[in-house]
């Protein structure tokens, strides 16, 4: 049977009577101490169970913009990337857009090959059947579709993914302003 929760003034009376009984009776004091210890252990166990059940999200860190700005400047210089993306291509015929896209593609490909070594994340051919074991690297493989249950997961590779294995961005002088990804041009 669950004990009735006493009101405030009853609790004051219980506290005073318990105080004097604890002072005068060591056996009673030991029982109270055991109750309090069990209560603390129960709370700690509940907190530990809640922490174990709730996955901890990794801490977010702010990315330094310097490398991104440098890469954007390289893409602009070699491929006129920003010019192409900022242009409203809806007014141009598909043949003109396609010709411009070839030039942008060629320049972007050059920037990637000159400044990065890139390998696929997975070696299997796209469309291959694969099994993801328990403990697979969820940062390197994204599961899509109807994800139910726990690994191992069986599926088909829809994209091999890409991993940068080496970065070779050019060194910059201290006076280089990375915010200027393409200087204005003035013809005289």
Asked whether the predicted pLDDT for residue 86 surpasses 90, the reply is: yes
Q: What is the mean pLDDT of the chain?
A: 89
What average pLDDT does range 140-144 have in this prediction? 94
The DSSP element (H or E) to which 42 belongs, if any, is helix 26-53
Q: If pLDDT is split at 50, 70 and 90, which confidence band does 3 have?
A: low
Q: What is the pLDDT of residue 15?
A: 80
Give per-residue pLDDT as tens, 32-71. Answer: 888 888 888 888 877 777 766 666 777 888 888 899 999 9
d(CA 151, CA 126): 21
Asked whether the predicted pLDDT for residue 1 surpasses 60, the reply is: no
The tokens for 97 are: 């857009």
- Give 73: exposed, middle or buried? Use CB within 10 Å, 0-12, 13-18, 19+: buried
Distance of CA 29 to the CA centre of its chain: 51
Q: What is the pLDDT of residue 34?
A: 87
Asked whether the predicted pLDDT for residue 125 surpasses 90, the reply is: yes
Q: What is the pLDDT of residue 2?
A: 61
d(CA 158, CA 130): 10
d(CA 133, CA 143): 12
Asked if 161 and 138 touch (Cβ cutoff 8 Å), the reply is no
Q: Say if strands 153-156 and 116-120 run parallel, antiparallel, or are unpaired.
A: unpaired
Distance of CA 112 to the CA centre of its chain: 24
What is the pTM (predicted TM-score) of this model?
0.62
């Amino acid at each position: 049977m669950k004990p009735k929760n006493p009101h405030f003034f009853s609790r004051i009376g219980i506290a005073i009577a318990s105080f004097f009984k604890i002072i005068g009776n060591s056996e009673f004091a030991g029982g109270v101490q055991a109750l309090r210890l069990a209560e603390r252990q129960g709370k700690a166990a509940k907190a530990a169970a809640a922490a174990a059940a709730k996955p901890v999200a990794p801490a977010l860190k702010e990315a330094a913009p310097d490398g991104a700005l440098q890469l954007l400047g390289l893409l602009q210089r070699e491929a006129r990337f920003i010019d192409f993306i900022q242009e409203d291509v809806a007014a141009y015929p598909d043949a003109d857009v396609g010709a411009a896209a070839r030039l942008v593609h060629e320049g972007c490909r050059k920037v990637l090959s000159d400044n990065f070594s890139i390998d696929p994340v997975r070696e299997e051919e796209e469309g291959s059947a694969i099994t993801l074991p328990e403990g697979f690297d969820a940062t390197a493989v994204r599961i899509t579709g109807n994800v139910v249950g726990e690994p191992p997961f069986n599926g088909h590779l829809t994209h091999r993914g890409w991993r940068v294995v080496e970065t070779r961005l050019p060194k910059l002088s201290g006076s280089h302003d990375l915010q200027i990804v393409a200087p204005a041009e003035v013809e005289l």
